[in-house]
């Protein structure tokens, strides 16, 4: 399939300097949140006004940035850089509320929906709501604020696919026959839906209660006239995902399962016509050169029974692991080529502050930290 996004860049420096959106994707536990924070920090160091947003419920981003916590309103992080660094966390319900208020024809219509019990129940819990509101937040930060760079830290891989598909799913829902029936202008159940739907809803009422069904119908009828605004917004969000200004960065680790997840995600992006713009592999074992593993193993045998022999055996083992990792990852690097690939080694300590992120940046970007 023809890839519609911009041609791959040569380095991660160019991604941060030339793109206005960077989406960091990957399975859980590979350091994706840290990479998102490092990319955002680099944007600030390049003089750009940058915001990083997470929809990860583990809330690790606040820790990495040294913040007590994140909210749905961006918080500025002070530091010695020429640009600005901001951070925020997705608040699904408040984002949904703001969208309802935006597309309501009158303040009264918006208030009627926000007060509806059915809406209050689904606004934070309905399957796919979080993913769509994440895309809405991305669109809002990009189009309705003055940030130069928006960096998105997504949920683990397969949930991030929901993140990508959410606008399309919303559009399909708004076109669904049952939705259109429930939207029919009326005041009673008999006039709102046809006979078959009435039978279905009466059955549902016996299970969940008539009040629940009445609330749902009232919600859809209160929603009347707003669906076109939601549909157009979903279409614009989809365009933004595929725009040349958006870069998808894949984050993985050398473990076989996370490499498999990364392959899966790269394939799905390709099927959607989106190019991976960069690959980061965290926690790599260091490699000391071709052939060193065999030489160290042979040397350990000649010194068997000595402390020096044990050291050579350890060196041989490390080199063997490093070689296997690189061989295992070669296929993934080929799958995303010609996008740049960066190997980030094990660090001496966990990344939990700005200084630690600087150590990662030293591997990710060309300039020394």
* Full pLDDT tens readout for the chain, 369 residues: 233 445 566 799 999 999 999 999 888 888 888 999 999 999 999 999 999 998 766 667 777 777 777 888 899 999 999 999 999 988 878 888 888 888 888 999 889 889 887 777 767 665 567 777 777 888 889 998 999 999 998 876 566 666 667 666 665 655 555 555 555 544 444 444 455 555 555 655 554 455 666 776 777 777 777 777 777 877 888 889 889 999 999 999 988 888 888 898 888 888 888 889 999 999 888 776 666 667 777 777 787 878 787 887 777 777 777 777 888 788 888 888 889 999 898 887 777 778 888 889 999 997 544
Consecutive H or E run containing 73 = none
**What was the pLDDT predicted at 247?**
94
- Side-chain half-sphere of 332: how many Cα atoms within 13 Å? 30
- Side-chain half-sphere of 327: how many Cα atoms within 13 Å? 7
Query: Which residues, in sequence order, are bridge partners of residue 246?
Result: 21
Neighbours of 319 (CB within 10 A): 23
**What was the pLDDT predicted at 188?**
45
> What does the buried/exposed string (b/e) look like for 287-306 if buried means 16 or more CB atoms within 10 Å of the residue's CB?
beeeebbeebbebbeeeeee
For residues 279 and 341, the answer to whether their CB atoms sit within 8 Å is yes
- Looking up tokens 């005041």, which residue turns up? 187
Query: Which residues, in sequence order, are bridge partners of residue 247?
Result: 22
Contacts 24+ apart (CB under 8 A), 120-129: 123/92, 123/93, 123/96, 123/97, 124/92, 124/93, 124/96, 128/162, 128/166, 128/169, 128/170, 129/92, 129/96
DSSP 20: S
Instruction: Tell me the two tokens of residue 335.
Output: 């799958």
**What was the pLDDT predicted at 4?**
43
**What was the pLDDT predicted at 6?**
56
**What was the pLDDT predicted at 173?**
58
Which residues, 6+ apart, have CB-to-CB distance to 171 below 8 Å? Answer: 231, 234, 235
The whole-angstrom separation of Cα 192 and Cα 290 is: 73
**What was the pLDDT predicted at 353?**
79
């Amino acid at each position: 399939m023809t890839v519609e996004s911009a041609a791959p860049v040569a380095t991660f420096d160019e991604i941060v300097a030339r793109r206005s959106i960077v989406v960091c994707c990957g399975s859980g536990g590979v350091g994706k949140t840290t990479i998102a924070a490092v990319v955002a920090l680099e944007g600030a160091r390049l003089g750009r006004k940058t915001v990083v947003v997470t929809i990860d419920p583990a809330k690790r981003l606040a820790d990495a940035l040294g913040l007590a916590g994140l909210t749905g309103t961006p918080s500025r992080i002070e530091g010695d850089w020429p640009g600005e660094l901001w951070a925020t966390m997705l608040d699904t319900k408040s984002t949904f509320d703001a969208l309802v208020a935006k597309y309501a024809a009158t303040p009264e219509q918006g208030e009627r929906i926000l007060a509806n019990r059915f809406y209050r129940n689904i606004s934070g819990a309905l399957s796919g709501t979080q993913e769509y509101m994440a895309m809405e937040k991305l669109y809002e930060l990009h189009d309705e604020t003055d940030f130069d760079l928006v960096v998105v830290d997504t949920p683990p891989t397969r949930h991030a696919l929901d993140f990508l598909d959410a606008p399309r799913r919303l559009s399909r829902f708004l076109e669904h026959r049952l939705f259109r029936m429930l939207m029919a202008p009326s005041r009673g159940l008999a006039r709102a839906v046809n006979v078959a739907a009435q039978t279905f809803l009466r059955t549902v009422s016996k299970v969940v209660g008539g009040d629940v069904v009445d609330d749902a119908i009232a919600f859809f009828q209160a929603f009347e006239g707003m669906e076109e605004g939601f549909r157009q917004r979903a279409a614009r969000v989809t365009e933004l995902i595929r725009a040349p200004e958006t870069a998808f960065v894949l984050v993985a680790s050398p473990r076989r399962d996370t490499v498999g997840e990364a392959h899966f995600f790269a394939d799905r992006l390709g099927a959607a016509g989106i190019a991976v713009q960069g690959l980061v592999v965290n926690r790599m074992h260091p490699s000391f050169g071709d052939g060193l593993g065999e030489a160290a193993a042979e040397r350990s045998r000649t010194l068997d029974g000595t402390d020096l022999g044990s050291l050579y055996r350890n060196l041989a083992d490390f080199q063997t692991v490093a070689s296997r990792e690189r061989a295992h990852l070669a296929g993934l690097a080929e799958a995303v080529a010609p996008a740049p690939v960066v190997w980030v080694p094990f660090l001496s300590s966990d990344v939990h502050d700005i200084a630690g992120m600087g150590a990662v940046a030293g591997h990710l970007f060309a300039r020394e930290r």
